[in-house]
Amino acid sequence: MAESIKLKVSCHACGYVIEGTARYGQGHYVPDGVPFDFVAVGKIKTAKGRRVKGEVVCVCPKCTVKNKYVI
């Protein structure tokens, strides 16, 4: 089953808010909005269930700086 990933972060350099979404599941990754690279590094178990833990790398559309985040 695919999990929806919502990305809303601010650029480290200029503070521009970067937003994007993607569907991730069984190795299938489909981005929508601002393109970002997603690498799954594990799973987190919470009271609501399991979700994917990963690293996101995206390029700011305003200043073209590459940003890396852990989600």
User: How do residues 6-63 score in pLDDT, each as one tens digit?
Assistant: 888 899 999 999 888 877 666 666 667 777 787 888 888 888 888 778 888 989 989 9
Per-position DSSP letters for 6-53, written without gaps between them: EEEEE-TTT-PEEEEEEEEETTEEEEEES-EEEEEEEEEEETTEEEEE
pLDDT of residue 6: 82
pLDDT of residue 26: 67
Closest by Cα among 2, 4, 1, 62 to 34: 62
